[in-house]
Structure 1
């Protein structure tokens, strides 16, 4: 995917998020700090090779899947909080549904004929910056607060490919784990554990004394092009040895089975299978969160 979120931008934004003015630190005492726990219902999608158009803004709404998450947040200063979260979701993609065979720019992807799903388990740590500050305790927090966030995340993924009609003895309609199959003839399988940079924004609404609700959208810039198992070039047919390699690395392609007659190149070894250039995949999480504020313990003053 297009690298619109550069490393330098991430570095500058990170400094801006973690920096807290000295005045805030002096006026926002520890007695005003508090914790909250959140439970989220999310929608997950992705930007990558198996989308209608191979750019950052392209995704297919029909590929959206539901997910869930939990989080704990610590408010440190009037504008700044830290949040740790665990998220589960699924991303999906299908060339048959996303690519138009009559579109010259999409015809290649339709011919590729890849269909995948990928369950993603993510752990993230982000800094949350409120655009409306609260110098008081949680009881006097504003009713509406827009906010932005950025941080670091690690995720586990394991893309699976859908088996269609084949001559390799694979059960049609089943899914096969692809990370270790090496469908592009890689010397070693790609790692199922990866890092990403989460960033985004949302708006938080105060329901009552202890409950907040928020609507949030967050992008994850990953450092892999294989969350959809498509990233490089087709391997030479002779180098594919296992049934899964032969099917996903070659036979699944329509021109190899006669379903897309007249398409030149097909799945010949060395021809492009994924995006041209060093592009990485992204995924996006849109969610509604219910936060419960843990009532801080109030220490009574000691009298002598």
Structure 2
């Protein structure tokens, strides 16, 4: 919770800087311009299926591809607005992330959960440059660090892999949509809002192209990116063999064998932390040169 308020304060600081800059600067329309771009990124997540259940903990081997398209409009010497559409995948696997010799991770090793989740995101953010460009796009600075914050809507769909033999009508290796199984008795939404924020650096390649590096966090309001949140439920409440399997029947012992369903009410996930995802990578932007109207003579 403390970390959440820290991020909210950072967001408010960015908003206040943008507002003050907008009021303080007179930026002619002749100097405003648009740009379009693409991004190629790595994508990770923070949640219940990581080495340590904390925000700084992630497994770099679980990094997956994220790609995006964006459009940006510059309003003022330091201020731009950007909309972006992106697609990427996050993954988690107790078999690879949890160390059974670590007392804090032991129960996650036994839990033996795995998931992958494809995320489609539409975002709108304000961008605040730490170095102002008071000229036109041709004379923009060569190197600009910046911060950003805004809002996004995303659609996700966690899936799990059947392992160790057939389950019901599913063969080992089958990929199953987890949300319809209601593994914790919760019918969570697959479309949610998030708060994207972060920073980056932008470099001017020539008069028309910029290249940049950026890292952005997404504070979500769901704990089910990985389909794991609270406690194990009574297996009698789960309707199918697949639901029982992913709801608790895949529990592993120290010698690698599997045991029956965990006791209802036992901890399945952290429960008091929302999931996050993080996007880090490279973006290339092309500046759309503004049309300059010729003066009219009478």
Task: Tell me the TM-score range normalised by the shorter chain.
Answer: over 0.9
Deviation, 1:142, is: 0.4
Distance 1:271-1:23 versus aligned 2 partners, 3 A rule: closer
**Paired residue secondary structure (2:4):** coil
- List aligned pairs for 1:18-29, cutoff 5 A: 18-21=18-21, 24-26=24-26, 28-29=27-28
CA displacement 1:17-45 (0-9 Å, x = unmatched): 5404366432x111100000011101100
Tell me which residue corresponds to 1:196: 194
Partner of 2:172: 172
Question: How far 1:238 moved relative to its partner?
Answer: 1.6
Root-mean-square deviation (Å): 2.0
Aligned counterparts of 1:299 and 1:85: Cα–Cα separation in 2: 29
CA drift at 1:179: 1.2
1:153 aligns with 2:163: no
Q: Distance in 2 between matches of 1:213 and 1:87?
A: 18
- Please say if 1:244 is aligned against 2:242: yes
Alignment-derived partner of residue 280 in structure 2: 286
Q: Does 1:273 align with 2:268?
A: yes
Q: How far does residue 170 in structure 1 lie from its aligned partner after superposition? A: 2.0
Q: Is the 8 A contact 2:223 2:275 kept in 1?
A: yes
Name the structure 2 match of 1:230.
Answer: 228
* Residue-pair matches, total: 296
Q: 1 CA distance for matches of 2:17 and 2:35?
A: 20
CA displacement 1:57-97 (0-9 Å, x = unmatched): 00000000012000000000000000000011000000000
8 Å CA contact retained: 1:215, 1:289: yes
Q: Tell me how far apart the structure 1 counterparts of residues 182 and 251 of structure 2 sit (CA, whole Å).
A: 16
Q: Is the 8 A contact 1:17 1:128 kept in 2?
A: no
Q: Deviations over 1:219-253 (max 9, x none)?
A: 00000000000001101122122122111012111
| Distance change in 2, residues 1:173/1:279 (3 Å) | same
SS of 1:148's partner is strand
CA distance in 1, matches of 2:113, 2:9: 34
Secondary structure at the counterpart of residue 180 of structure 1: helix
Length-normalised TM-score, structure 1? 0.92
Match of 2:204 in 1: 206
Q: 1:94 to 1:22 in 2, by over 3 A?
A: closer
- State the match for 2:81 in structure 1: 82
Deviation at 1:168, TM superposition (A): 2.9
TM-fit CA distance, 1:8: 4.7
Correspondence for 1:130: 129
> In the superposition, relative to structure 1, how do residues 22 and 99 fare at CA in structure 2: closer, same or farther (>3 Å)?
closer
**Does the Cα contact within 8 Å between 1:116 and 1:162 map onto a contact in 2?**
yes
What does residue 69 of structure 2 align with? 70
Match of 1:163 in 2: 162
Q: Deviations over 1:253-303 (max 9, x none)?
A: 114997268xxx972111110004x21000000020110000100011111
Equivalent position of 2:3 in the other structure: 4
Structure 1: gaps of 5 or more residues: none
